[in-house]
Amino acid sequence: MNWIILIIAGLFEVAFASCLGKAKETSGSEMYYWFAGFLVTMTISMLLLIKATQTLPIGTAYAVWTGIGAVGTALMGMLFFKDPVTFWRIFFITTLIGSIIGLKAASH
């Protein structure tokens, strides 16, 4: 169950990074809404991370959480923020996903 909580926490990390990206692209009151979304999603992500680390090893949980956030944010950047899509970016995202799976498999 805590692995599921950790994955959800990682997805909220992607959400708060995406809110920062949208806040950078906007101005006025819309920017403040994105910053509010950032604060809400960051808080949820941190609370879920705290919950997950109550039973999972902290090093593994934190690495998986940041890995999910890094992969998700990189993909969001390529899909929605016009970040470049290159062979090497896809290659290293793939190796990061493999590392996350390896950390989960090795945490028994």
Tell me the average pLDDT of the chain. Answer: 94
**How far is 11 from 3, CA to CA, in rounded Å?**
12
Q: CB-hemisphere CA count at 13 Å for 9? A: 23
Distance CA 104, CA 94 (A): 16
Range of the structural domain that residue 53 is part of = 2-105
The pLDDT tens digits for 7-31 are 999 999 999 999 999 999 999 999 9
Task: For the chain, give the percent of residues with pLDDT over 70.
Answer: 99
* Number of domains the chain is built from: 1
Decide: pTM greater than 0.85. Answer: yes
Alpha-carbon distance of 73 to 55, in angstroms, equals: 26
